[in-house]
Amino acid sequence: MEPTIVSGKEVSNKIKEEIAIAVEKLKSKGVKTPHLAAVLVGEDGASRTYVNAKVKACEKVGFNSTLVKLESDISEADLLAEIEKLNNNSDIDGFIVQLPLPNHIDEQKVTEAIAPEKDVDGFHPVSLGKMLLHLPSFLPATPYGITEMLRHYNIPTEGKHCVVIGRSHIVGSPMSVLMARNSYPGNCTVTLTHSRTQNLAEITKAADILIVAIGKPEFVTADMVKEGATVIDVGIHRIEDASRKSGFKLLGDVKFDEVASKCAFISPVPGGVGPMTIASLLKNTLLAVELKN
Ligand code: GUN
C-alpha cells in the first residue's frame, strides 16, 4: 500500500499563512501586534535550535518576539524573578520557558509561576485542568499540532482505537486526553502505554491510530503495526552520520522505511510533528491576544 505522508511542513505553512492574515486584521483594527517571548536557560544545542525556530516563525507571521537568554547557573529565584517580569509586562502576550531546565531548577515550580493567561505552552495546571474539562484553553503545542494534522487530512477518529506510547506531561498524557474527548478529532478508545506496559506489541498491533512519543530512535518496527493504520511519530533524534555534510541525520521513534508501506497515513521525521508544534504555539499566542481583547 502507498501511504499518504502526513506533511506537518505543509500543514504548518498553511496555518502560518492563516495566522499572518489574522495578524494583519488585528493591526488594521488597531489591536496590538502579538508578542511571544521565549526563555532559554543555558546552552543546550537542541533547545537553542528549537527556540531559534520559534523566533523565526514569529517573524514569518508578523509577530513580535523576544528571546530571553539566561546563564545555565542562574538560581531558581532569579529565574522566577524573570518570569514575574514577563507576567507583568503588558506588551508580552504569551511566553514559554524552553525545557529541559538545568537540574538545580524545579521545572514544576517554574511552570506554575507562569501566569495562566500567558501560558501559551499549555503546561500550567490551570491550562491542563481546562483541557480535561473541555473548556477553552491553551492546548499543549505538540498534542494540539497532532490533532490539527489529523483534521487537515480528514483522518477518521470516531470509535477508533488510538494507542499512545509514552506518558510524558507535555506529549503522551495530554494526547491521550485529547483523543478521548467528545469532538473531532477525538471520540477514540484510547490506550496509554508506557515503560511498565506488558505485551506492548500486541497492543500497538490493535491500534487504528498509533502515536509514538517514547524518545527512542526507530523503536516502532513493522511487526508492531496493523495494516492500514495511521502512525504519528513525535520522536526526533540526531544520529551521527559521517556521510552527510551536517555530520548527522534525523530519526524518529518509528522505523519509517519498514513501517510506511503498512500504513494508510504516516508522519515523517523531519517535516512531520516538529513544524506543527511551532504552528500551534503561534496559534496559542494569537488566542492569547484575542482573549485579552
Ligand atoms: N521542550 C520540548 N518540547 C517543548 C515544548 O513544546 N515547549 C517547551 N517550552 N519546551 C519543550
- With a Cβ cut-off of 6 Å, ligand 1 is lined by 96-99, 121, 141-142, 170, 277
CATH value at residue 237: 3.40.50.720
Residue 101 lies in a domain: yes
Would 158 be classed as within a structural domain?
A: yes
pLDDT, position 196: 98
Same domain, 263 and 188: yes
C-alpha cell at 188: 477514540
> Are 164 and 268 contained in the same domain?
yes
What local confidence, expressed as pLDDT, does residue 273 receive? Answer: 98
**Pocket residue to mutate for ligand 1, from 170, 234, 277, 284, most atoms within 8 A of Cβ:** 170
- Asked if residue 104 is part of any domain, the answer here is yes
Q: Residue of the nearest CA to atom 2 in ligand 1?
A: 99
Say whether both 196 and 103 belong to one domain.
no
Which pLDDT value is given to residue 81? 98
Q: Is residue 239 a part of any domain in this protein?
A: yes
98 is catalytic: yes
Domain count, the chain: 2
Each residue's pLDDT, cut to its tens digit, for the chain (293 residues) gives: 799 999 999 999 999 999 999 999 999 999 999 999 999 999 898 899 999 999 999 999 999 999 999 999 999 999 999 999 999 999 999 999 999 999 999 999 999 999 999 999 999 999 999 999 999 999 999 999 999 999 999 999 999 999 999 999 999 999 999 999 999 999 999 999 999 999 999 999 999 999 999 999 999 999 999 999 999 999 999 999 999 999 999 999 999 999 999 999 999 999 999 999 999 999 999 999 999 88
Report yes or no on 167 lying in a domain. Answer: yes
Residue nearest (by alpha carbon) to ligand 1 atom 9: 98
**CB–CB of 178/147 below 8 Å?**
yes
Query: Do residues 111 and 171 both lie within one domain?
Result: no
Residues 39 and 81 in one domain: yes
Cis link prior to 270 (omega < 30° from 0)?
A: yes
Pairing of strands 237-240, 209-212: unpaired
In the prediction, which pLDDT does 293 show? 82
3-state secondary structure the chain: CCCEECCHHHHHHHHHHHHHHHHHHHHHCCCCCCEEEEEEECCCHHHHHHHHHHHHHHHHHCCEEEEEEECCCCCHHHHHHHHHHHHHCCCCCEEEECCCCCCCCCHHHHHHHCCHHHCCCCCCHHHHHHHHCCCCCCCCHHHHHHHHHHHHCCCCCCCCEEEEECCCCCCHHHHHHHHHCCCCCCCCEEEEECCCCCCHHHHHCCCCEEEECCCCCCCECHHHCCCCEEEEECCCEEEECCCCCCCEEEECCECHHHHHHHEEEECCCCCCHHHHHHHHHHHHHHHHHHHHC
Cα 99 to averaged position of ligand 1 atoms, centre (Å): 5
pLDDT of residue 1: 72
CA distance 115 to 120: 10
Query: Which residue in 54, 118, 226, 283 is the catalytic one?
Result: 54
250 plus 158 within the same structural domain: yes
292 is catalytic: no
Task: Kindly state whether residues 148 and 228 are assigned to the same domain.
Answer: yes
What pTM does this model have?
0.97
The verdict on 269 and 147 lying in the same domain is: yes
> What is the predicted pLDDT for the residue at 25?
96
Q: Which of 16, 93, 98, 160 is catalytic?
A: 98
- Cα 196 to averaged position of ligand 1 atoms, centre (Å): 24
Residue numbers of the domain that contains 106: 30-115
